[in-house]
Amino acid sequence: MSPMERTLVIIKPDGVQRGLIGDIVARLERRGLKVAALKMIHMDETLARKHYAIHEGKPFFEPLVKYITSAPVVAMVMEGRKAIEIVRKTLGATNPAIAEPGTIRADYALEIGRNLVHGSDGPDTAKTEVALFFDENEILSWARCSDPWIFE
C-alpha cells in the first residue's frame, strides 16, 4: 500500500478574489483528501521568487511573481495516499483551455496565467514547498472519523 503523502496546494489570488475558496477546498476535501494545514497569507516577492525559482528567466516569470503577490492566497497542506498525484489530477493541466472537463482548472478558468490553483508536482517539490509555507508545528496530524471509510 502506498504511503501517506503531504502536498502543498495554493488557491491563487484569482481563486480568492472570485470567491472560489470554498468550492476549491470542497472539491479536494470530498475526494477524501485531508486538510493538515490551512492559512490565508499575502505572499511577498521573496517568497514568490523562492516558490517559483525553477521558472526564473522564463518569459512568464515576472508576470507570475506579480500575479501571485497581487492579493491574498490560501495555502494548504493536503494529506492522503498518492496525494501529490491526486491533487495534480484534480487541479487539471496547467493551461485551463486544454484541461480535462471535471478538473478545477477546466471548470473554473480559461487562461494559463489565471489558472486558480497550485499543486506540488512531485515528492521533492512537495517537501520543499510545504516547508517554505508552513512551520512543522502548523501542520497537524489528526485522526479524522471518516479515515477508515476513505483509506483501506
> Which of 99, 102, 121 minimizes the C-alpha distance to 110?
99
Question: What residue has cell string 498525484?
Answer: 85
Question: What residue has cell string 487539471?
Answer: 92
User: Which of positions 78-97 make contact with ligand IDP (CB under 6 A)?
Assistant: 94
- 27: cell is 472539491
Q: Should residue 112 be labelled a site residue for ligand IDP when binding is judged by CB under 6 A?
A: yes
The one catalytic residue among 42, 51, 55, 118: 118
Q: Should residue 128 be labelled a site residue for ligand IDP when binding is judged by CB under 6 A?
A: no
Query: Is-contact 7 83, C-beta < 8 A?
Result: yes
Min dist. Cβ of residue 117 to ligand IDP (A): 8
Q: Should residue 17 be labelled a site residue for ligand IDP when binding is judged by CB under 6 A?
A: no
Min dist. Cβ of residue 95 to ligand IDP (A): 8
For 21, phi then psi, to 5°, come to -55, -50
151 makes contact, choosing from Mg ion, ligand IDP, none, with CB < 5 to 8 Å by partner type, with: none
Q: How far apart are CA 96 and CA 86, in angstroms?
A: 17
Q: Is 118 a catalytic residue?
A: yes
Q: Which residues are catalytic?
A: 118
Residues within the interface to Mg ion (CB under 5 A): 121
